[in-house]
Structure 1
Amino acid sequence: MKPAAETSAAGDHASGSIQQESSRRGRQEGFFLTSTRNGGAPDNHIVSDSIPSLSHSAFLSAMRPVVRLVARGCLTVVCYHRVIRRGDKRFQGYKPTINASQEAFSEQIEYLRANYDPISLSDLAAWIDGRRGLPPQPALVTFDDGYRDNAEVAWPIMRERGVPAVIFLATDYIGTGRPFIWDLAAYLFATTTLTSANVPLVGLRSLATDAHRDAATATWVDAMKRLPGAKRSEAVASLAKALDIDVPGQEIFEHLYMDWDDVRRLAREGVEFGGHTCSHPILTGISEPQGSWEIEESIRRVTEATGFKTLGFAYPNGSSRDYSDTHEKAVLKSGVPLAFSLEPGPMRLHDVSKRRTGIRRIYVGAHESMPRFVAKLSGVARLAHALRG
């Protein structure tokens, strides 16, 4: 008989082999498809693609009973950052934050309304507190950061269809014209006249084409996010110097973000708002007291601006390594009953009730096909996450 440790190791190896084989077969059969990472939990971007032999409409019809089965007893929370109109010639910021066109978003919201039971953040908070039940297939639509297109493009589509919206605000960027660092970096990479550069944090990069510039921007942003907050301003200055371009004024970016008048107007129309920190740091990259302050102060500002109790908070970046128990406690200390990650959902209601400050969300990537969107909502990203260990 093998020693216990050896038996365990053999079992782990066998389990790993099964997972690898499942993933290999899934990739061969077109079930798993990795798309561009966009700042959240990376496994949230492993999604199900359509079965190649089925048409678009046939796939949606085939998935309907699966959706009913999977969604019942689960909470499906969808996360967006931005929804844009085609043809807008103004600077559009960092491209990976754009989740959908106006047309694609309309189709996604129509699907959600037809196949799920859209709820509000207030509905979810009332259920958590035992004051109200939930419909059979509850779904919540959320937005992070506070981009103006949430107000001008996304909300009118949702309002017309009676679908509630929640927007989590990074409050330092509301009404100030101050750009998110990834939008500023995107502008610097887009406007430099250089065709290559030794880029701080990431090394020599080609800038000869738009595709090269987009790739260099994404690589730099990913590296920058892991810097301590105090080092980020230095990183931007070094980037501007390396790209031989001056840092632009705030007027370049003002159209990208909501102001507090937008927030108050939307709150009167029924949009709910939550905190998303003040300066959008990765919370585990700063001190615990500073992280707690970021959480509590953003919640205070949102509550003061809207005049309504703040019921939710979303962790910046959102993977399990980006926040800790300390930050979950800070949310509750602020009187906020719910907090959201970007670990892939959906999430069983039983688990939501046990972990109300770690609610999973499904991130919608750019250029999402409807079959892929449907499969994501059905939990394939989370299945892939489990298979990859």
Structure 2
Amino acid sequence: MLNHAGHRETPFGLRGHLGRLCHHAGLLRLLQQARRCLYRDLRLLAYHRVLTVAPDRFDFDLGLVSASAECFRQQMQLLKRRFRPMSLGQVVAAIDAGERLPPDAVVVTFDDGYDDNYHHAFPVLRELEIPAAFFVSTGHIDSGRPFAYDWLVHMILRAPVGELALPELDLARSMPTDRAARRDLAQHVLDRLKDLDDDHQMALIARLEQAWDLPSAAGHADCRPMSWAQLREMHAAGCEIGSHGVHHRMLAKLPQPALEAELRDSRATLERELGAPVTLLSYPVGGDASFDARVVEAAMAAGYRAACSYICGTNPAHAIDRYALRRLPVEREMDGGWFAAMLTLPKLVSYPTVSRVS
């Protein structure tokens, strides 16, 4: 979890404590009613993984674990009780028709396509009849292969080496023996890596796989993508399935032909496998270095009608930018009070996004 300065925060930092304080003081309902009168906006929740993990035995990025299965159920129960869950398709239709969104509208979204989405999130959503959009990288579905960024973190956590030498990042240091220190190092490397263009990102990861004999093709039980059978079942039950590209590449880092192929081919694959139109997109990584005017133009040309960023915030009802929808990331450290406060007071309690564009 990162604060606005990009530094790692401890659980229940200032925003967390503020959210819990408002919750335990019984102020959130009153604040929600007051905010509803003064300001109307669209909230989108952003999840990655719903998984109960033991941090000392989990060899992947803890920052992508949004909630345990138990916490996710509690969050969705609160969402249904106090807010207005909508599908992203309903939002797009309202925008097209020039209609006002209802107060307290919230859309639930998931990025990447991990199989825990099917095993832990989907049953809760189906039971509570809450719509959700799942954005998947089609090149990984049915493959068993983790995403490249996941595997980079995994390798740094597991590599039996004493030194880490990354000349591509002008980085060389001893490999920590302490697990927490390795996690911090992995996050630092991942952040630095995303400043490179796509070819250099993938080349660095491939080099480490070979040098450390940790091939991603072997897969891992703790980091599997969904299958097409699972996605078809979810789609038949009413879940929206959207594109997250083919290979989970930062679209703004790609040359034009590769950018267009990621958008075109992922959509075509989804439509073929699901037998239904696909018009929703989430930009992989999703920060301000991941998409730009060129990417938006290509998304529009490829037939997408809305696209989600991973920039933290809400979307003012009078001026929704359908190709740069802001979202509220759900963090593993959030308890019920913090989560409720984030939905009620998103500007105060959610985490500002670190800009990567100077």
Q: Same fold (TM over 0.5)?
A: yes
Which residue of 1 is the match for residue 184 of structure 2?
A: 215
| Aligned pair partner of 1:345 in 313, 331, 348 | 313
Which residue number in structure 1 is paired with residue 328 of structure 2? 362
Distance 2:350 2:233 in 1: 40
Cα 1:177–1:104 change in 2 (3 A) is same
Which runs of no fewer than 5 residues in structure 1 stay unpaired? Answer: 1-32, 39-44
Q: What CA distance in whole angstroms lies between the structure 1 residues aligned with 2:270 and 2:224? A: 19
* 1:206 correspondence with 2:175: yes
Matched, 1:116 2:83: yes
Report how far residue 87 of structure 1 moved.
6.4
Aligned to 1:226: 195
> 2:281 corresponds to which residue?
313
Percent same amino acid among aligned pairs? 25
**Structure 2 unaligned blocks of 5 or more:** none
Distance 1:307 1:69, change over 3 A: farther
Q: Specify whether residues 36 and 108 from structure 1 end up closer, same or farther in structure 2 by C-alpha distance, changes over 3 A only.
A: farther
1:256 aligned partner: 224
Deviation at 1:91, TM superposition (A): 5.9
Q: 2:339 aligns with which of 373, 376, 379?
A: 373
Matching of residues 97-176 of structure 1 within 5 Å: 97-130=64-97, 134-176=101-143
Residue 295 in 1 paired to residue 260 in 2?
Answer: no
- Whether the aligned pair in 2 keeps the contact of 1:274 and 1:312 (CA below 8 Å) is yes
Q: Is the 8 A contact 2:66 2:330 kept in 1?
A: yes
> 2:145, 2:224 within 8 Å by CA — same for their partners in 1?
no
1:142 is displaced (CA, Å) by 0.1
One-letter code aligned to 1:364: V
Number of corresponding residues: 344
1:349-377 alpha-carbon deviations (Å, 9 max, x no partner): 1111xx21111111112211333323332
**What is residue 15 of structure 1 aligned with on the other side?**
none
Query: Aligned partners of 1:384 and 1:248: how far apart in 2?
Result: 32
Cα 1:239–1:296 shift into 2, 3 Å: same
Partner residue of 2:15 out of 44, 48, 60 = 48
Partner residue in 2 for 1:68: 33
Going by fraction, where is helix more abundant, 1 or 2?
A: 1
**Structure 1 position 385, deviation (Å):** 4.8
Contact 1:48 1:380 in 2 (8 A): no
Structure showing greater Rg: 1
Quote how far apart the aligned CAs of 1:260 are: 1.1
CA–CA separation in structure 1 for the residues paired with 2:350 and 2:151 = 36
* RMSD over aligned Cα atoms: 3.2
Report the more deviating stretch, 221-230 or 276-285: 221-230
SS of the aligned residue for 2:109 comes to strand
The one-letter code of the counterpart of 2:245 is: T
Displacement of 1:270 in angstroms is 1.0
Letter in 1 for 2:336: M
User: Structure 2: how far apart are the matches of 1:212 and 1:329?
Assistant: 41
